[in-house]
A and B are shown apart, each in its own frame.
Chain A
Amino acid sequence: MSHAETMLPALPPPPEALKRYTFSRLLGRALLGVWLAASVGIFLFVVDSWSPEKFAKYGPSFLSGLRVTLTLVAISIVLGGILSLPIAYGRMTKNKVLSWIAYGYVYFFRGTPLITQLFLVYYGLGSFRPYLEAVGLWSLFKDAWFCALFTFTLNTAAYQAEILRGAIESVPRGQHEGAAALGLPKSVAFFKIILPQAMIVALRPYGNEIILMIKGSAIVAIVTVFDLMGETRRAFSRTYDFQMYLWAAVLYMIMVEMLRNLWAWIETRLTRHLKR
C-alpha cells in the first residue's frame, strides 16, 4: 500500500490545436470582406457627394414621405382587418354561395399583383366617372392617395381573411368538443376558447403581413402619391444623386427591422405560458 504524499504540480493546458483553414472559413472571410468593402464604398460615395444644402432641402420631405407611408399602411391594415372578418366568415361558412364569393374575392386579390390592382382602381375607375359623380364618390376616387388606401384595404383584407381562417382552423377539434362538453354556448366557446388560441397562431403571419404592406406600399409612388418612395423619386429626379435611394433603403430597413423585433418581443411575451 502506498499513497502519494505530494500532488502532481498543475500542468499548463495543452496548446490549442490549430484550427484548420477550411474552405468555408476562407469563403466566410471573403464574403465578410465583400460586405465590408461594399459598406466602405457606399460610405465614401455618400461622403463624396454629401452636401448640407441637399440634406436641409430633402431631409424634411423624406420625413413627410415616411409619415405618408406609415399612415397609409396603418389605416389600410386596420380597415382591412375589419373587412377581413366577414370574408373569413364567408370562407368558413357552409353556405355554398357565400363561400364561393369569398373564395373568388380572396383568389382575385391574392392572385394578381398589387400594382395591377392599384392601376385598375386609379386609372380604370376613371371610365366610370359619370356613375361615380352621380353617387358623389368621384371626388374621393380622383385622389390618388384615397385610391391607394382603397386598394390596399381590399388587398390586405383578402390576406388577413386567409390568416384568420387558417388560424381558426388550426385549433384542434377537441377544443370545440371540450367546450361543448362543458355546456358552453357556441359564442362563448368561440370568443373565450377558440379565438385566443387562434390569435397566437395568427400573430406571426399578421406581423409578416404588416411588413409586406410596408414594402408593398412603395408602389404608390407610381400613381403620384408622395410617400417615402415618391419623395425619393422626386429628389432623385431633381438631383440625379444616387444616395437618395440609399437613404430610402436605410429608412425602409429601419422600419422593417424595428417591426420585426417588436413582433418577436410580443410573441415571446404572449407565449411565455407555453414554454416548458
Chain B
Amino acid sequence: MQAAFAALSSIVSWFASIVDPMCGPIGVFRLFAQGTLLACGDTGWGDEIAYGFMITTSLAICTLPIGLFLGFFIALAKQSEEKSLRLATNIYTTIFRGLPELLTLFIVYYGLQIVAQRVMLAVGYEGPVEINAFIAGMIALGVVFSAYCSEVLLSAFKAIPRGQYEAGDALGFHRGKTMRLIVLPQLVRIALPGLGNLWMALLKDTALVSVIGLPDILRQTGIAARVTKNAFEFFSIACLLFLILAMLSSMVFSALERWTKRAEVTR
C-alpha cells in the first residue's frame, strides 16, 4: 500500500515537472531566462517564483470548494422561514463582510494558535504549537468567500420563480431532487458572473497570506527583491503573474458561461 502511494505521488510529481509552465522542460523561465536572475536552479530565482505561483494557485483552488459549499448552505438558511436561522446567518455575513480580510486572517491565525495551545495544555502537551499558514489562509479566505458567496447565491435564488419549485412538486419530486434537477442548473447560470467576480477577489486576496509567512508569489518575489535589490523588476513579475492568473480565469469563466447557456435559444 505504502509503495503504491509512493509510486503514485512520484508519478504525479514527475508529470507536474513535465508540464510546469515555468521551470519544466518547456517552461518560459527555462527557455527564455537562462543566465538571468530568473533562471531555474541555484543561479536564479525562477524555480522559487514558480513554487510561489503553485502555492498561490493551489491555495485559491483549495479555498474555492470550501467557500462555495459553506456559501450555498448559508444562502439556503437565509431564505428559511425560521427566524433564528436567518438571524444567525445574517450575523455571520455581517461580521465577515465588514472585517478587513487581513484582520480576519490575523484573527484566525493567532486565535487558532491560542485555542490550539489551550487545548494542547489541557491534554497535557506543553510545547510551542504552530498553525500551518496554508490552513489558516484557507480557513480565513474560505470564510470570507462564503459570506460573499451566500449573498450572490441568495440573489440568484430569488431570481428563480416559485413556479419552478411547484413544477417539481407537480412531477412528484422530493425536495432534494427538485433542487438538484430543476433549481441548481438555473442557479449556476444566474450566479456565474457574480461567482466569477468573487473568484477574482479570492485570487487577489491570496496575496495577503504572504504576510503570515506562506511562500506564495508575493513572498517569494519579495525575498528575491530583498536579496538582489532589484525590487521593481521582481514586484513587476509578481503583478504580471497575477495578471496572467486573472486572464486565465476570465477565459475559463467565459467558457463556463457559454457551457451553462448551451441550451438557450440563439437568436
Contact = CB atoms under 8 A, between A and B. Distances in A.
B94 A257 contact: yes
A83 interface: no
B128 to A, nearest CB: 13
Nearest to B208: A115
Nearest to B239: A112
Most buried by B among A28, A32, A107, A257: A28
A229 B98 contact: no
A240 to B, nearest CB: 9
Contact of A120 (B100, B204, B206, B239): B239
A249 interface: yes
Interface stretch (B10-18, B107-115, B257-265): B107-115
A216 B82 contact: no
Contact of B239 (A32, A116, A248, A249): A116
B255 interface: no
Contacts of B114: 242
Contacts of A115: 207-208, 210, 218
A29 B208 contact: no
A245 B100 CA distance: 12
Most buried by B among A107, A115, A126, A253: A115
Q: A interface, how many residues as a size bin? A: 35 or more
B80 interface: yes
Given A31-B85, A218-B100, A113 B236 contact: no
A108 B87 CA distance: 39
Contact of B231 (A27, A127, A233): A127
B82 A218 contact: no
B238 A31 contact: no
A222 interface: yes
Interface residues of B, number: 50
B20 interface: no
A113 B242 contact: yes
Contacts of B233: 127
Given A111-B242, A116-B242, A218-B103, A128 B232 contact: yes
A29 B103 contact: no
Given A24-B82, A28-B82, A32-B88, A124 B98 contact: no
Q: At the interface, is chain A mostly helix, strand, loop or mixed?
A: helix
Nearest to B240: A112
A92 interface: no
Interface string A110-144: 01111111011001111110000000000000000
A25 B84 contact: yes
B42 to A, nearest CB: 24
A249 B225 contact: no
Q: At the interface, is chain B mostly helix, strand, loop or mixed?
A: helix
Interface string A24-63: 1101110110110000000000000000000000000000
Contacts of A113: 204-208, 218, 242
Interface string B112-133: 0010000000000000000000
A108 B208 contact: no
Nearest to B89: A31
B243 A107 contact: yes
Interface in B223-267: 225, 229-233, 235-236, 238-239, 242-243, 246-247
A89 interface: no
A219 B208 contact: yes
A222 B211 contact: yes
Contacts of B243: 107-108, 111-112
Contacts of B80: 24, 28
Interface in B122-155: none
A105 interface: no
Interface of B: 77, 80-89, 91, 94-95, 97-103, 106-107, 110-111, 114, 200, 204-208, 210-211, 218, 222, 225, 229-233, 235-236, 238-239, 242-243, 246-247
13 contacts: A24-B77, A24-B85, A31-B88, A31-B89, A108-B239, A111-B247, A112-B242, A115-B218, A117-B239, A119-B222, A128-B232, A236-B110, A249-B107
Interface of A: 22, 24-25, 27-29, 31-32, 34-35, 107-108, 111-117, 119-120, 123-128, 214-219, 221-222, 229, 232-233, 236, 242, 245-246, 248-249, 252-253, 256-257
